[in-house]
Amino acid sequence: MSSRHGRSRLLNALGCGVFAASLVACTEQASTPRYADAIVVGAGLSGLAAAVEMGGEGVNVVLLDMNSVMGGHAVMAGGFAIVDTPIQHEAGFEDSAEKAYVDWMDWTDDGDPAWTRYYAENSRTMIYDWMAEMGVDFVRVQAGHENSVPRFHFTPRGALDVVLALYREALALPDVAFEWNEKVQSLVVEDGRVTGVTTRNLRTGVERTLLAPNVVLATGGFEGNLERVLEYWRTDLPKPDRLLLGASIHATGTGHDMAEEAGADLTWMNRHYIYTNGMVDPRDPEQTLAITAGNNAALWVNAQGRRFTNEAGFDKTILAHVLDQEPTTYWMIFDESSRHAFSMRGREWINNPTDGHAVLDHPEATIRADSLEQLASTTGLPPDPLKSSVERFNALIDAGVDEDFGRFAHPDEAPPKIDQAPFYAIQFFPMPRKSMGGVAIDMQARALDDAGEVVPGLYAVGELTGSVGINGTHGMDGMFLGPALVTGRIAGRTIADVVTADISRKPIAEVSPLAPMSDAGPWEPALTADDLEGLIALKRDGYWHFEVSHELALERDYECVLCHSAQMPFAPLDNRQSLLAQSEVCGNCHGR
């Protein structure tokens, strides 16, 4: 018997009072009024999808988020895997659910077959068509290693456009309300059923108990917790010497802990989508945060100065090759002729200028030298193997065939030679990006215990579920955002069916409506740059997004009026019109 289940049985035997340290005691629930038909924890992509689905059916739903804005990590994400779409047809690609199912099951080796088939059969209507109804345009489709036809779909600004469309739809629904800076600390459990949450407001410190017969956890993955990632490492892969933090700093696994304490089972927890192209963020004083970076013309060498993989190969193969190195790191080598090909993403401050580059011209982030010998000396790489590796790479380029690793088979496919000073070297490490394991759910998004039985009142969606096992042990393009939206919709539908069919449903004693906006009158900026710097320096709980966004505003010399107005003043936003106005300015930082 596991320690968790032994603890659960002991708690049941002793009664609700023992739950006080982790779950709300039963005695508190009797005097606490029902807060909503459903509570959604997390206003990211999957939480928004669930709320819109419920709100459209008249279900009273409250979204709680520990941040001060919606979107989660999806606002910095890319595209969606979708099957058999108009944009594919226009490009001449013939696709089908069966073809997609075969491709994905073959790539993942052990992806969940039921969810993979459901997604292949329903992604078109549940994502593409639904978003089209909200005015979202998918403008291009991209190929991927795991697909026999291109299926990776993008809007003009990536996932941001989808997030904003869902958010605006939610704001238009009178039965959907948002509460910000609310950190959910635990689930309320009564007689084996989840009946609510306990929260603490990060700005005020106020703690509350909020009751609802349906709770949806949309709290994301746990790849921001490096200790936990290593604890749940695959036994068939070597553990890396060093991991960088490539996921959201908020993705620590709190939702997993709450679900498990309420009786839910965790599955596939040792499955992680590990990126191999993580470099240290030079702005991070702790040197733990990663930038996702790359240069498709570069040569990769290990710590011994030798090439070890096909730099353009399958990511799952490259990961195995990187983890086989001692130590588990490598250097990207390129020259001035391909400086322009370097790109990066993953941190809030990033843009990609040609001159005055924040990474390429940063001496602690990028080693630059006038010769390969000097490059070796500065990086600590052995000079002779490094020089030999570059010379061999250039010879293969001249020949037009990569006989060593199969990167190119024709001169037209070959990158430019590395022979134009200055030369560049950047060190890379593995970085966890997305969870591919998490809370077990059924096909209705209801949380399951380790016996496969439903945990009443509890639902889980999105990355918290490990994208329902679709990715198997290998991540796929668009198979994180896509399942997040689909599982969110499924949870919303399931709850809407239950709530609308409940003839005993009682009025809600307490609601949290968003007030209409009052007449704001004339408005003009009232803060100076010095005022703003002082506010940022305070480092207050619950102000993470405020600090990050306004640091960017100062750095980029944004005028206050670029974002603020009478509809979006220098004050907490407490009405739908102001929140809608806020959503219109997200693109000033995101989606650029």
User: Residue 348 — pLDDT band, cuts 50, 70, 90?
Assistant: confident
Q: Cα–chain-centroid distance for residue 472?
A: 18
Q: Looking at this protein, which amino acid is placed at residue 313?
A: G
- Give whole-number Cα distances, 213 to 53, 287, 453, 476, 581, in Å: 17, 44, 18, 35, 32
Residue 264 within a domain: no
Does an H or E element contain 196, and which?
strand 193-201
Residue with tokens 């982030």: 365
The domain boundary, picked from 401, 432, 463, lies at 432
Nearest to 162 by CA among 56, 292, 44: 44
DSSP code, position 580 = H
Q: Looking at this protein, which amino acid is placed at residue 345?
A: R
* Same structural domain, 33 and 146: yes
The domain boundary, picked from 449, 481, 500, lies at 500
Nearest to 275 by CA among 346, 219, 341, 366: 346
168 vs 545: CA distance, rounded Å: 19
Nearest to 331 by CA among 286, 284, 295, 285: 295
User: Residue 572 — pLDDT band, cuts 50, 70, 90?
Assistant: confident
Average pLDDT over residues 249-259: 96
**For residue 447, what is the domain's CATH number?**
3.50.50.60
Residue 210 has pLDDT above 50, yes or no: yes
At 379 the three-state DSSP class reads helix
Point out the least confidently predicted range of 73-77, 116-120, 245-249, 275-279. Answer: 73-77
* Same structural domain, 413 and 457: no
User: Residue 514 — pLDDT band, cuts 50, 70, 90?
Assistant: low
527 vs 2: CA distance, rounded Å: 57
User: Residue 355 — pLDDT band, cuts 50, 70, 90?
Assistant: low
* Same structural domain, 37 and 121: yes
Q: Provide the b/e sequence for 432-442 (b: ≥16 CB within 10 Å).
A: bbbbbbbbbbb
Average pLDDT over residues 110-115: 97
Point out the least confidently predicted range of 45-59, 228-242, 348-362, 566-580. Answer: 348-362
* Same structural domain, 579 and 478: no
User: Residue 290 — pLDDT band, cuts 50, 70, 90?
Assistant: very high
Packing angle, helices 383-399 and 372-379, rounded to 10: 130
Domain that holds residue 565: 529-588
- 445-463 pLDDT, tens digit each: 999 999 999 999 999 999 9
* Same structural domain, 59 and 144: yes
CB count within 10 Å of CB 342 equals: 21
Mean pLDDT taken over the chain? 90
* Same structural domain, 392 and 496: no
Would you state the pLDDT for residue 216? 98
- What are phi and psi for residue 119, nearest 5 degrees? -65, -45
Of the spans 24-33, 369-378, 511-520, 523-532, which averages the highest pLDDT? 369-378
Residue 561 has pLDDT above 50, yes or no: yes
Q: Cα–chain-centroid distance for residue 393?
A: 36
* Same structural domain, 218 and 179: yes
Does an H or E element contain 330, and which?
strand 330-335
Give Cβ neighbours of residue 584 (< 8 Å, ≥ 6 apart): none
Half-sphere exposure of 336 (CA within 13 A, CB side): 10
Percent of the chain with pLDDT over 70: 91
Residue 523 within a domain: no
Would you state the pLDDT for residue 518? 57
Residue 13 within a domain: no
- 231-240 pLDDT, tens digit each: 999 999 999 9
Please say whether the beta carbons of 57 and 120 come within 8 A: no
* Same structural domain, 169 and 207: yes
* Same structural domain, 422 and 456: no
At 538 the three-state DSSP class reads coil
Please say whether the beta carbons of 45 and 72 come within 8 A: yes
Percent of the chain with pLDDT over 90: 77
Nearest to 486 by CA among 517, 451, 515, 443: 443
Q: Looking at this protein, which amino acid is placed at residue 520?
A: A
Would you state the pLDDT for residue 8? 35
Residue 358 within a domain: yes
Residue 375 within a domain: yes
Residue 50 within a domain: yes
Would you state the pLDDT for residue 225? 97
Residue 299 within a domain: yes
Quickly list DSSP for 468-481.
GGTTTTS--TTTTH
Report the chain's terminal Cα–Cα distance, integer Å.
52
CB count within 10 Å of CB 38 equals: 29
Please say whether the beta carbons of 101 and 186 come within 8 A: no
The domain boundary, picked from 385, 416, 432, lies at 432
**For residue 283, what is the domain's CATH number?**
3.90.700.10
* Same structural domain, 352 and 365: yes
* Same structural domain, 428 and 487: no
143 vs 150: CA distance, rounded Å: 4
- 1-23 pLDDT, tens digit each: 333 333 333 233 333 332 333 33
160 vs 156: CA distance, rounded Å: 9
Residue 9 within a domain: no
User: Residue 299 — pLDDT band, cuts 50, 70, 90?
Assistant: very high
Please say whether the beta carbons of 357 and 349 come within 8 A: no
Q: How many domains does the chain have?
A: 3
* Same structural domain, 226 and 332: no
User: Residue 516 — pLDDT band, cuts 50, 70, 90?
Assistant: low
Answer left, alpha or beta for residue 521, where phi above 0 means left and psi between -120 and 50 means alpha.
left
Please say whether the beta carbons of 292 and 309 come within 8 A: no
Does an H or E element contain 555, and which?
helix 544-555
Q: Provide the b/e sequence for 43-59 (b: ≥16 CB within 10 Å).
A: bbbbbbbbbbbbbbbeb
